[in-house]
């Protein structure tokens, strides 16, 4: 990753509590004095703070069902698809504790009508089992990657991980026709594709983020070193033609020097655009403001952690500038004693896989989500409140400034 010169450093950095508003002025590598402001987006968090039906889950990518997922593209009459991975269904009390038996699925989707976070305008789609309980939409226990709608077809990826060893087993391309502005899952096509590559201890997996640049669609992946728990995952990228997005044979993979048709060629140090990224993330082509036309990478530093970071690039396949932390997630500290008391001394709330939702964001800002879960619980136990498992949102804004400001 490129190094920012000494005169291009952050002047002030402070971490406030959950309700803090942070406005920090920095000099970035593009030579302009830039400030960013971040605060909890309570309106979007409230959308998923529910008492019945879907109660908690992770994943959470968003895209336009009409085929436009770019910044600010959601309108009053549009529909936005939410892609969830592990999800929990049931009912909850006012304090968030579960009031009914909980059913888990490995994935499901939500559909929001309009561009406002209104619970009454959101529905969830999933299958049901013989007992009428929610079940997976697809036969395999997929964790869903990012997606895109092209020519009335939803394309996304599904990854299968061995639950005992956390070993990646492969990636599948999932294609679903859109009918009456909803996915028709009965007509789903699924095929295993070469979007996962292993070379010794090195693994590359694609589908963790998608950026629509018109005729070319950029699909991001991570490069990981198997066996090193804290290895800083590296960001890599592929380029897919819009007209043949579903045909992986037409994709090209960036080696750091040239585009190659072989995924193996991007499994190298030269190909990395950033490191220390999360398993899921976003790269947004910004609209308006100081970063108009630039590409903003948003992720959780180290995948599991409290630091939400962004970095900037001139193109979707150039190296990103040194990271900036724009938010510190408060929940691990907030719930620390509570989870240890109820779920065991080794239990901890973790936050992970931050990403922006450009379709739901206005120019010069990004709506960003991050996931919550509990690790280290006593064997055979399960967390007892949805507040440990539903995503939170923050609003990240970029503006020009000539002085340091902290509110």
Average pLDDT, the chain: 89
Q: Are 233 and 275 in contact (CB under 8 A)?
A: yes
H-helix segments, 216-344: 331-334, 336-343
CA distance 77 to 67: 14
Q: In the predicted model, is pLDDT for residue 107 greater than 60?
A: yes
Least confident of 19-33, 70-84, 269-283: 19-33
DSSP 319: P
| CATH (residue range 22-400) | 2.115.10
pLDDT tens figures, 349-389: 999 999 999 999 999 999 999 999 999 998 777 889 999 99
Residue 399's H or E segment, with its range, is strand 392-400
Q: What is the pLDDT of residue 401?
A: 61
CA distance 308 to 13: 13
The tokens for 272 are 């990395």
Q: Are 312 and 320 in contact (CB under 8 A)?
A: yes
Least confident of 74-78, 83-87, 107-111, 318-322: 318-322
Domain boundaries, the chain: 22-400
> If you average pLDDT over residues 58-68, what whole number do you get?
97
Q: Are 169 and 206 in contact (CB under 8 A)?
A: no
CA distance 214 to 241: 9
Return the higher-pLDDT residue of 151 and 17.
151
Q: In the predicted model, is pLDDT for residue 404 greater than 70?
A: no
Q: What is the pLDDT of residue 203?
A: 93
Q: Are 9 and 26 in contact (CB under 8 A)?
A: yes
Rounded (5°) CA angle 148-53-366: 40
CA distance 8 to 33: 9
Q: In the predicted model, is pLDDT for residue 29 greater than 60?
A: no
Q: What is the pLDDT of residue 298?
A: 98
pLDDT tens figures, 387-396: 999 999 999 9
Q: In the predicted model, is pLDDT for residue 126 greater than 60?
A: yes
pLDDT tens figures, 156-187: 999 998 877 777 888 999 999 999 999 999 99
Q: What is the pLDDT of residue 34?
A: 56
Least confident of 32-36, 91-95, 167-171: 32-36
CA distance to 43, 295, 358, 388, per residue, from 97 (Å): 21, 40, 32, 10
> If you average pLDDT over residues 17-46, what whole number do you get?
63
pLDDT tens figures, 73-92: 999 999 999 999 999 999 99
Residue 59: how many CA atoms within 13 Å on its side-chain side? 30
């Amino acid at each position: 990753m490129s190094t920012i010169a000494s005169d291009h450093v952050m002047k002030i950095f402070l971490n406030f509590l959950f309700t803090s508003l942070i406005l920090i002025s920095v000099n970035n590598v593009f030579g302009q004095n830039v400030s960013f402001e971040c605060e909890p987006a309570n309106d979007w968090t409230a959308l998923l703070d529910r008492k019945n039906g879907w109660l908690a889950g992770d994943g959470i990518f968003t895209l336009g069902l009409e085929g436009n997922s770019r910044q600010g593209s959601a309108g009053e009459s549009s529909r936005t698809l939410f892609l969830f991975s592990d999800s929990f269904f049931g009912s909850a009390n006012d304090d968030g504790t579960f009031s009914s038996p909980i059913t888990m699925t490995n994935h499901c989707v939500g559909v929001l009508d309009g561009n406002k976070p209104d619970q009454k305008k959101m529905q969830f789609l999933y299958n049901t089992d013989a007992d009428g309980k929610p079940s997976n939409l697809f036969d395999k226990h997929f964790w869903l990657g990012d997606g895109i709608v092209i020519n009335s077809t939803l394309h996304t990826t599904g990854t299968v991980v061995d639950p005992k060893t956390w070993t990646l087993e492969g990636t599948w391309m999932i294609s679903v026709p859109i009918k009456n502005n909803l996915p028709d899952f009965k007509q789903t096509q699924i095929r295993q594709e070469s979007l996962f590559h292993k070379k010794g201890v090195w693994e590359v997996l694609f589908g963790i983020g998608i950026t629509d640049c018109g005729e070319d669609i950029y699909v991001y992946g991570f490069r990981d070193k198997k066996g090193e728990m804290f290895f800083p995952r590296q960001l890599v990228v592929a380029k897919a033609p819009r007209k043949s997005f579903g045909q992986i044979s037409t994709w090209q993979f960036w080696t750091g020097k040239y585009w190659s048709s072989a995924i193996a060629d991007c499994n190298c140090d030269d190909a990395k655009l950033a490191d220390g990224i999360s398993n899921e993330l976003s790269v947004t082509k910004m609209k308006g403001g100081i970063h108009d036309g630039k590409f903003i990478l948003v992720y959780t530093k180290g995948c599991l952690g409290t630091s939400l970071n962004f970095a900037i690039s001139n193109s979707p396949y150039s190296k990103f500038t040194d990271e900036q932390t724009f938010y510190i997630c408060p929940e691990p500290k907030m719930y620390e004693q509570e989870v240890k008391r109820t779920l065991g001394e080794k239990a901890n709330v973790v936050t992970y896989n931050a990403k922006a939702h450009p379709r739901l964001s206005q120019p010069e800002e990004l709506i960003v989500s991050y996931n919550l879960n509990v690790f280290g619980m006593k064997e055979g136990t399960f967390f007892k409140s949805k507040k440990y498992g539903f995503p939170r949102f923050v609003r990240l804004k970029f503006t020009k400034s000539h002085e340091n400001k902290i509110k």
